[in-house]
Structure 1
């Protein structure tokens, strides 16, 4: 599968530039997407139990790391942005006895080797794998880091419905004397892996890189190293919960959350 190792350095530099802006925007409670779409499904699939050791990959400002502690977990959390990890520590002073924050590059096999073998009950990555230029080292390393039967839960923008170049429109139609409104997406590619520059939050200092992979790319990578897909959620917003007259992701799922379990048979 095509990966983008040559863009790893640039990607990291851009997230260093964007870290403060993203942290200020996300704050303590993150945004609506995380609160209503990502977090509920992720928590169900992760099923954290008291005393679990959880690895939070590309943890950002530590919002979900802190939530994991509230659910009873002990956490090792890392991000390759040192600026973001510093922000996470500042926001997590009351949690630092349960969260070990580290600056670590998920594309580096050498850095993965520093994590203890079989230490973690589960791992999680919220809306981040699409920002990582090469996820092959991550996929391989998880097989060693997780305990037998351990799980990895991750969320990404739904690659079927949000590939590069997706155009969102909101349409109205007078049909049989009734005005029908609907949200529509227009896509022109899916099967071809691609890198693109994107604005996740308006006003961020620089665009960041995103890396489009198909669903089968993800499944093939994980199943190829002994994982099985045993959970998947495609969440949507509740109908009518968005701003009237604007595009709403209430029928088309904007994200997908997947759970892969380490198969030790």
Structure 2
């Protein structure tokens, strides 16, 4: 068992390596239905928002092995998935070889340098709590979006996730402080034996980061609806006057 615990902020290369090691297991986990949160909570909510807004060009930031990207591509003419994990992108490309989806091995920051104002919608599913610098990521996403473009994102709920995984009573935990935490990636139905890093951030820090990077919050949901919420799902729009 890998216990959750605080660590020094890791490099992006270290985080990418963690996801490279997890990628094959994670892909099977989703395919076999052993992540109920993905299949019954997160993916349906994000898909419903895409169906509502009907974008023509979408970027899936932190797409992993492309399972969500595939679902969204049914509703969007042009889709690109981006991830820092080369192994995740390899799996996505291999499985989606006959589909019109572009998969790019890159950070969104590097990708944004040569792809400004290309997309009218961005997805960041369970990504913003996995990046060392959430403002850099949001700023890069804002730059690849067209004026008045939108981002739909999900994150673990910072008010409830610590108690859900049991580290809220640890001496090192402080709700108001950003903390890098490394622990086993697991779902309620499945353990992986693979460690990944996520960052505890307060709800205020996410809202402040959105405002600082030109986004205005449009929709905010706490999920699941019939239980103590473990996730946040939200839609925010770029202020086109700032682009």
- What TM-score do the two structures reach when normalised by structure 1? 0.78
Whether 1:195 and 2:185 are equivalent positions in the alignment is: no
Match of 1:174 in 2: none
Distance 1:225 1:111 in 2: 17
Structure 1 runs not aligned, ≥5 long: 169-184, 238-249
Per-residue deviation, 1:192 = 1.4
1:93 to 87, 90, 97: 97
Per-residue deviation, 1:122 = 0.4
Match of 2:151 in 1: 152
Match of 1:209 in 2: 197
Compared CA separation, residues 40 and 51, structure 1 to 2 (3 A): closer
Compared CA separation, residues 50 and 44, structure 1 to 2 (3 A): closer
Per-residue deviation, 1:100 = 0.7
Distance 1:74 1:263 in 2: 23
Which SS does the other structure have where 2:122 is aligned?
strand
Question: Contact 2:223 / 2:230 at 8 angstroms: preserved in 1?
Answer: yes
Residue-by-residue CA offset, 1:203-241 (whole Å, 9 max, x unaligned): 43431111111111111111112210011111216xxxx
Which SS does the other structure have where 2:224 is aligned?
coil
Whether 1:71 and 2:71 are equivalent positions in the alignment is: no
Number of residues of Structure 1 aligned to a counterpart in Structure 2: 229
Q: How do residues 115-126 of structure 1 correspond to structure 2 at under 5 angstroms?
A: 115=115, 117-126=116-125
Per-residue deviation, 1:140 = 1.1
Compared CA separation, residues 252 and 189, structure 1 to 2 (3 A): farther
Per-residue deviation, 1:28 = 7.2
Compared CA separation, residues 114 and 164, structure 1 to 2 (3 A): farther
Distance 2:54 2:219 in 1: 21
Compared CA separation, residues 78 and 221, structure 1 to 2 (3 A): same
Distance 1:73 1:29 in 2: 27
Compared CA separation, residues 111 and 189, structure 1 to 2 (3 A): same
1:236 to 221, 224, 230: 224
Distance 1:5 1:189 in 2: 16
Q: How do residues 1-265 of structure 1 correspond to structure 2 at under 5 angstroms?
A: 6-27=10-31, 31-47=35-51, 52-95=56-99, 97=100, 99-106=101-108, 109-115=109-115, 117-163=116-162, 166-167=165-166, 189-201=174-186, 202-236=190-224, 250-265=226-241
Match of 2:5 in 1: none
Higher RCO (C-alpha 8 Å, min separation 6): 2
Distance 2:229 2:210 in 1: 23
Distance 2:233 2:176 in 1: 20
Compared CA separation, residues 120 and 145, structure 1 to 2 (3 A): same
- Of 213-222 and 27-36, the range deviating more from structure 2: 27-36
- What TM-score do the two structures reach when normalised by structure 2? 0.84
Bigger CA radius of gyration: 1
Question: Which protein is richer in helix relative to its size?
Answer: 2
Distance 1:55 1:33 in 2: 22
Structure 2 runs not aligned, ≥5 long: 1-7
